[in-house]
Amino acid sequence: MVEMQQDYFFSGRESARKEAFEHVWSNDLNDIFADLAEYYDQANFVASLGLMNWFHSRFIATFDLTNAHKVLDVCTGTHAVSRALLRQKPDLEIHAIDRSAAMLKVGAELAKKEGVTIRSLQGDAHELPFPDNHFDIVTLQFASRHLRIMHAFDEIKRVLKPGGYFYHCDMLRPDNKLVQHAYYTFLKASLTATACIFGSTETALKSRKYFLNVLKMFYSAPELSQLFGELGFDAISHKSVFGGMLGFHKAMKPI
Ligand SMILES: C[S@@+](CC[C@H](N)C(=O)[O-])C[C@H]1O[C@@H](n2cnc3c(N)ncnc32)[C@H](O)[C@@H]1O
């Protein structure tokens, strides 16, 4: 397990992220997602002016899948990735894990409506309840900002089969200062507007500051590629859009 026993290039940033956000990760995040769960998908669409859905479709298009693959969707939320993959390959065996019972409940209702089977369970991304070398593909969408990322990615590598692929996508920290400024200004306005439209509770309203700050301390696309390399992944590639505001990565567990 990684947990900073070794000196990695990003150990300092990870310690700083942990110090700044651990109280939110441990105490508040579940309440925030419990509040958001019922309207999470719609709020995402409104807050991003539809761009998240467009980006999600582009991410899904990068998967190289066969019906025989065994897939794990980490921080699955309302099963957006699992459901999209099952639309492509209805016979896939998909397992999904998330800490939030509320998000999983909404996901289960959506999966039922769509007539797909997702083997989902409640649990923590830092302690995946699966054996070593178990999955052909692991995916993580829009959640790694909320994790002790080196620990979680190391855990993902553990459960991947040698030669298996990790598909990751998230909002990232742009390198360019002007793009950063535009991005943060847009996010601040859109989070406030979305909270008002959907009548969020006090907990979710307070979380706006967290969502901005956690992004400001997060990784750019090239940094994330470097981090994958340090953790021992191979064949690492990334693509970012909108000046690095969003990006997806693909990395293989060495054979
Ligand atoms: C922004 S949502 C993304 C959900 C989904 N992947 C998607 O793309 O719509 C973040 C999810 O991460 C989950 N999460 C946050 N920290 C977690 C942890 N330590 N272990 C498992 N799930 C976690 C939250 O409960 C929430 O459902």
In a domain, 21, yes or no: no
Residues counted in the chain: 255
The residue whose CA is least distant from atom 12 of ligand 1 is 75
End-to-end CA distance of the chain: 19
Cβ-based neighbours of 185, under 8 Å, separated by 6 or more: none
**18 against 4, higher pLDDT:** 18
Q: How far apart are CA 29 and CA 98, in angstroms?
A: 12
The stretch 154-179 carries a mean pLDDT of 96
Which protein residues are within 6 Å of ligand 1, measured from CB?
A: 29, 33, 75-78, 80-81, 98-100, 103, 124-126, 141-143, 146-147
Instruction: List pLDDT tens digits, range 201-246.
Output: 666 666 778 889 999 999 999 999 999 999 999 999 999 988 999 9
In a domain, 77, yes or no: yes
* Distance (Å) from CA 246 to ligand 1 centroid: 17
In a domain, 1, yes or no: no
In a domain, 139, yes or no: yes
Q: Which domain holds residue 128?
A: 27-252
Whether the predicted pLDDT of 200 surpasses 90: no
In a domain, 3, yes or no: no
Name the pTM for this structure.
0.94
The CATH number of residue 174's host domain is 3.40.50.150
> Given ligand 1 and candidates 26, 42, 75, 118, which is best to mutate, with the most ligand atoms within 8 Å of its CB?
75
Instruction: List pLDDT tens digits, range 111-153.
Output: 999 999 999 999 999 999 999 999 999 999 999 999 999 999 9
In a domain, 10, yes or no: no
In a domain, 152, yes or no: yes
Instruction: List pLDDT tens digits, range 68-86.
Output: 999 999 999 999 999 999 9
In a domain, 119, yes or no: yes
The tally of domains found in the chain comes to 1
Instruction: List pLDDT tens digits, range 184-194.
Output: 888 888 777 77
